[in-house]
Amino acid sequence: MNRNQRRLAKKQQDTEKRRALPTLQRLFDEAVRHHQAARLADAERLYRQILSVDPHHADSLHSLGLVGHQLGHRDGAIELIGQAIRLRDDVPSYHNNLGLILQAAGKLDAAAECYRRALALDPQLAATNYNLGLIYKAQGNFEAAADCYERALALAPDDTQAQINLGDALQAQGKLDAAIAWYERALQRAPDDVVGHINLGNAFHAQGRLDAALGCYERACALKPDDDVALKNRAGVLKSLGRLDESFAVCRRVAELRAREPARREPQPVWPHKLKHDREQLDYLIGTYPAADTFRVAAESLAQQPARAAEIFAGLFHLEPGARLAEPALAATIDVAAVQATWDATHPNVVVIDNLLTPEALDALRRFCWGSTVWQAGYAGGYLGAFLNDGFACPLLAQIAAELAVKLPGIIRNHPVMTVWGFHYDSALEGTSLHADEAAVNVNFWITPDDANLDPDGGGLVIWDVPAPLDWDYEKYQKDPPAIRAFLAEQKAKSITVPYRCNRAVVFDSDLFHETDRLSFREGYLNRRINVTMLYGWRHDE
């Protein structure tokens, strides 16, 4: 085909397109009606029919991209809308919708650029300002996020989600009074917004207004009784108020929900030492409750499907009573004056208390730890952790924590209980690595019988006489043993070794670096080393 022929053919094509325009517009309008009614297959068919006639029909490319995104074809959707933008760069909605898809794909920088282009074409897009704010919030740029939400609210003053997110951005900057004002404004229009009540509670909590925070969390729980965040935050503020029994009851509820609803649980690796532990515990439970089919079925599942071990065990929910005792849980023989004198005379603060619990409390706590399916978190060192929201929150633990604060007022002072956990060790593996804890006072005690320990000079705790620097962040003082050892060597730090004894507590400044001493315990489920840790106060509040 020569040049003249090509020119004539192009002219004829252009003429046919012009003739087809009214028909294409009708098809597009019909496709849009199908699209709006969620008849995606019909909409897609018509958009493609239009593009077969006019491959450069930008609106159809854009709309076909939206259909593809709705059907889960994200990459194709990005390409189609990109084509539409290359044909028509002056349509704000094209840039905005491409931004939405990129944002859903986690490509935040590219999405933000799309939103900025849309706003350059039309600054009056409230939703685009809001979406750009969400990206800045996710990137930790809270000042920029707040600016975006304010622009969105100038255009749509009654947008409660923008009001709540503005409150979040202000709270993240420490502007708590302003954040509270925006949360309260949002909740006037949307009193059933659970997230709004939770975030308002968080702001009150940050101000130390614990009763106000509790009221917010309780309203959130009334609206959505099983909301994970509302429950956890409610438990936390109850704990800060010293209402440990109520707090621990909420934690047990969280644990029960986690066991029954897999979506609430974080995936756990299948550690060989955890699989060994779970088999041993199920054997113990089968022996203790021979009529209970649940444990037998779980044991059979573990044997048949070891790769699903974490899932199978996490789905169990069994708590031994661990009931509050009518009598004190702490032994009356504790010489409080001698303990306080040792604490005051030593630097750093470290004191050992033997025979901490009464025989009744020790026996009940052992049975709770042996029988409760709370040992969910596995660690590379060969031990398992149980935390409050795993169900390690029996009334007896609440009683012990409260009694310690009363018994040792000169040590624990007015520090609230921050958290409680237990560790369950494999008899032949390592323990916790070198670290410090985010607390003011650490109470660590052991409950496994002494005859399980094969090395009376070991098996306990090694504490170093140098605290973690206050300018170190959590990741460094908790999870960077090489950096810690280098620091201790530089400081010429000395270690204090406290050998293992059943019913022995070590009370110390929680800023001090510490680690489990070498372990040599007998094999067997009841011989596994168990320690309980109770932390009081924050490290900056000593």
Rounded average pLDDT over 227-247 = 97
The pLDDT, as a whole number, for residue 428 is: 78
The pLDDT, as a whole number, for residue 11 is: 57
> 185: pLDDT confidence band, cut at 50, 70 and 90?
very high
> 424: pLDDT confidence band, cut at 50, 70 and 90?
very high
Per-residue burial over 276-302, b = 16 or more CB atoms within 10 Å of its CB, e = otherwise: ebbbbbbebbbeeeeeeebbeebbebb
pLDDT > 80? residue 394: yes
Question: For residue 30, how many C-alpha atoms fall within 13 Å in the half-sphere facing its CB?
Answer: 14
pLDDT > 90? residue 9: no
Strands lying side by side in the sheet with 461-467? 495-498, 461-467, 512-516
Pick the CATH number of 321-541 from 2.60.120.620, 3.40.50.300, 3.50.50.60, 2.130.10.10: 2.60.120.620
> 479: pLDDT confidence band, cut at 50, 70 and 90?
confident
The number of beta carbons lying within 10 Å of the beta carbon of residue 498 is: 20
The pLDDT, as a whole number, for residue 7 is: 64
Distance CA 443, CA 269 (A): 29
What is the percentage of the chain residues whose pLDDT exceeds 70? 95
pLDDT > 80? residue 462: yes
Rounded average pLDDT over 189-211 = 98
The pLDDT, as a whole number, for residue 209 is: 97
Distance CA 532, CA 260 (A): 26
Tens of pLDDT, residues 52-105: 889 999 999 999 999 999 999 999 999 999 999 999 999 999 999 999 999 999
Amino acid 520 reads S
End-to-end CA distance of the chain: 89
- Say if residue 121 is exposed, middle or buried (CB neighbours under 10 Å; 0-12, 13-18, 19+): middle
Which residue's structure tokens are 């510490």? 514
Rounded average pLDDT over 450-457 = 96
Tens of pLDDT, residues 513-540: 999 999 999 999 999 999 999 999 987 6
pLDDT > 80? residue 6: no
Q: Give the number of residues written for the chain.
A: 542
Rounded average pLDDT over 262-270 = 81
Q: What φ, ψ does residue 507 adopt, rounded to 5°?
A: -110, 125
pLDDT > 90? residue 1: no
Distance CA 240, CA 212 (A): 13
Can you give the residue ranges of every domain in the chain?
3-241, 270-314, 321-541
Rounded average pLDDT over 488-501 = 96
Specify the CATH number of the domain 3-241: 1.25.40.10
pLDDT > 80? residue 541: no
Cβ atoms of residues 43 and 74 within 8 Å: no
Cβ atoms of residues 61 and 52 within 8 Å: no
Tens of pLDDT, residues 128-147: 999 999 999 999 999 999 99
Cα 228–232–235 angle (5° rounding)? Answer: 140
Tens of pLDDT, residues 29-41: 998 999 999 999 9
pLDDT > 70? residue 190: yes
- Write the CA distances from 56 to 53, 84, 91, 457, integer angstroms: 9, 8, 15, 82
Tens of pLDDT, residues 294-313: 999 999 998 999 888 888 88
**DSSP H helix total and E strand total for the chain:** 23, 10
Gyration radius from the chain CA atoms: 31
Cβ atoms of residues 533 and 422 within 8 Å: yes
What is the average pLDDT score of the chain?
93
What is the per-residue DSSP string for 103-147? Answer: HHTT-HHHHHHHHHHHHHH-TT-HHHHHHHHHHHHHTT-HHHHHH
> 291: pLDDT confidence band, cut at 50, 70 and 90?
confident
